[in-house]
A and B are shown apart, each in its own frame.
Chain A
Amino acid sequence: MIRVDGLVKRFGDIHAVDGVSFACKAGEIYGLLGPNGAGKTTIFSMLAGLLAPDSGRVTVDGVDLASDPLGVKRGLGVVPQEVAVYEELTARENLGLWGGLYGLSGAELAAAVDRALDEVGLAGRSREPVQRFSGGMKRRLNLSLGLIHRPKAVLLDEPTVGIDPQARANILEVVRKTADAGAAIVYTTHYLEEAERLCDRIGIIDHGKLLAEGTLAELKALVAEEEVVTLFGGFDPAVARAEVERLPGVKVLVAEGGKLAFSSGGKGAAGLLGEIFGRGLAVDRVSIEPPSLNGLFLKLTGRELRD
């Protein structure tokens, strides 16, 4: 349904997006997972037709976005990261406007507005100006504006940033239902848990490059049974690195002031720690992380996704 081939975008010397390719099928939620500044929003903007790529191609349902932008946009639902709603208008008026812009009218528009309000639980407040809404309610309306016309393909850019757990649960539920109804959804996020819980397939992105992609199981397999062990203490990181690297199969991921992270190489973390403590490193605290997306990200980039 949504296909991205070799997308490139530069801003001066900066490669914001560097040859990204992926595809998202109908009924699938494709998560673009990466830290802030990884290039997710730039990709989102190019998919939404708001930013022209330097090279590469985006097609939706086989139609090239560059050659028929309005045609593609008619079938696309877009939910931006910021709450882009008209605060002076009511929820119903906002939905009516966007439905109208996408070509709905009359009874069809009225029905779509009612359905969208029900979906996000705003039917009871639909005639109040949006400026009276809480942050979570605005986020839910923000989502429903992108879905009012029942698009075949949906782009969501971090739709749950800064909201309460209840509103987040509602949004994730609506997104899941939309995919189950057959829409292809590209979902950018920097929340690991969200990607793990919601997405059928995940692409890990950093510095504009897609580092890995697959289902959650496939991605976890990339880190096999490797645990990520992180030591915190008053040791010299260079000395600690040298000591740890002597251990067979162990790979140091991070070595900086007071912190040393390494992958266990499939060996038991407990046995490795016994050897390390025997070498006299001044360790205050230890963290052992089972195979995870964060471990994979750490392995791929040398830094944590949460940084």
Chain B
Amino acid sequence: MSARQVLLLVRKDLRRRLRSPLSTILVLVFPLVLAGILAMAFGAGETKAPKVRLLIDDRDGGLVGSLVAQAFTRPEAAQYFEVEKAGPDALERLEKGEFSALLRLPLGLTDGVLEGRAMELVLVRNPAQSILPEVAEQITQVLADGLSAASYSLRGPLDELRPLLNAGKGPSDPSVAAAAVTVNRWITRSGKYVFPPAITLKPVQLEKSGAETAGSSTGSGGVSVFLFVLPGLAVFSLFTLGDMVMRDLLGEGTRGTLRRVLAGPVTPGTVVAAKAATAAAVAVVGLLVLAAIAGLVARHGVDLAGFALLSLALVAAVTGLASTIYGLARNERQGSTIGSVLYMILAFAGGSFLPLDSLPPAMRAVSPASLFYWGTRGYQVLLVQGGGLGDVLLHTGILAGSGAALLAVGGMLLRRRVLRGEA
């Protein structure tokens, strides 16, 4: 393989891209435009995540129902929820899209919790929305879990007190004290589920494992929807760019220029290496553009070493995956189709388009198998959470390792095709 020939071929391809830049520009502009639209829709640059508008239909009217309703209106929860008491037109307003969900607290909820009976909270989701009702459902699930725990914990002292009350004589001071101690302990234990911290439970979990939803970055303040969605879309864009460049190898086969190059003193390995290097160069340029814009928008400094290392690993993954796809595809059109479908699936599964917690649990479980997941998460850690090189080492390692393996396989497949005259 001749390094000079590789450079000549890369320069040729970069010149061609510069002369016909439209497709490259479109792919690069796509994440910026989409992120911009999403930012405008959800309030770009604001320090608040989009609010969940929740209707509460409190048919219980007792202590527990009121506690649940208050949990959503405490100051800590108010930045996430806008709560309104449901009227007779609740379902109608939900259908109109005025609210994300309707929470129905059943009649007898307080008695049921105190007596340890099974009770059911009903959450009606707005089918026209996906993320916000999901947030409401998850928070409500946490509340329900907390109430269940409280019901079980209180059953002992209540059972002790109930016979005394039924016998017509007042409870003794020690038995009241014992019940009070038990209740106090329960409050201490379950407070983190039921009381205001329950509303913030989700962000607390997210801070441990990285950014998962728009609410996740509010812990450090200064969340930006633009910055939050940009990494996923940018990763998708970069894979699309890589695909576009590697597809050109098969395009050159169709146009006859590949045969002509190979009729010269140029090995198939040189041709494949040059195309991979072009894909990498275009991806680097794309990353620099996106990084510059992200840098302008970000309100905190970005760890440059982490960004550079993660980007290099991502470029390897982008090139490797595209090489493998076009090494396996029968022709340019088939490769393009397979690539488009595969990238969409990997992007959705990897959380590039939607927050991971809005995905079904089964899909969430396979998310780490998607290269998009590691790219998206890595950039979110750097850009949104202000993480550093140490925080993205795992992401970098997985991307680089997978990229190197895919590049080896793809390079071999492409070289074989070229040797057979199939490209």
Contacts and interface: CB of A to CB of B under 8 A. Distances in A.
Contacts of A16: none
B259 A50 contact: yes
Interface stretch (B180-188, B264-272, B329-337, B352-360): B264-272
Given A89-B15, A89-B16, A89-B19, A70 B257 contact: no
B20 interface: yes
Contacts, number: 65
A85 B19 CA distance: 15
B260 interface: yes
Contacts of A86: 12, 16, 257
Nearest to B11: A97
B265 A103 contact: yes
Contact of A74 (B16, B20, B265, B267): B265
Contact of A49 (B9, B19, B256, B263): B263
In this complex, the member of A50, A82, A93, A101 whose beta carbon has the largest number of chain B beta carbons within 10 angstroms is A101
A4 to B, nearest CB: 16
Contacts of A50: 259, 262-263, 421
B421 A97 contact: no
A73 interface: yes
Interface string A89-125: 1000100011011110000000000000000000000
A71 B265 CA distance: 7
B200 to A, nearest CB: 56
Nearest to A99: B8
B162 interface: no
Nearest to B254: A82
Contacts of A145: 260
Interface residues of A, number: 28
A285 to B, nearest CB: 42
A13 B20 CA distance: 44
B211 to A, nearest CB: 41
A101 B421 contact: no
Interface in A65-89: 70-71, 73-74, 76, 78, 80, 82-86, 88-89
Given A70-B267, A101-B8, A88 B260 contact: no
Contacts of B5: 100-101
A184 interface: no
A100 B265 contact: no
Contacts of B12: 86, 89, 93, 97
A221 B332 CA distance: 51
B259 A101 contact: no
Contacts of A102: 264-265
A80 B256 contact: yes
A89 B9 CA distance: 12
B4 interface: yes
Given A86-B16, A89-B16, A101 B263 contact: no
Contacts of A286: none
Contacts of A100: 4-5, 8
B16 A80 contact: no
Interface in B240-262: 255-257, 259-262
Given A51-B421, A80-B256, A101 B16 contact: no
Nearest to B20: A88
B259 A84 contact: yes
B8 A97 contact: yes
Contacts of B262: 49-50
A78 B265 CA distance: 11
Nearest to B270: A101
Nearest to B264: A101
Contacts of B255: 82, 84
Contact of A129 (B4, B19, B256, B264): B19
Given A50-B263, A80-B263, A85 B15 contact: no
A145 B259 CA distance: 13
A50 B423 CA distance: 12
30 contacts: A48-B263, A49-B263, A50-B259, A70-B265, A73-B264, A74-B265, A76-B263, A78-B263, A80-B256, A80-B259, A80-B260, A80-B263, A84-B255, A84-B260, A86-B12, A86-B16, A86-B257, A88-B20, A89-B12, A89-B19, A97-B8, A97-B12, A100-B8, A101-B5, A101-B8, A101-B265, A101-B266, A102-B264, A103-B265, A145-B260
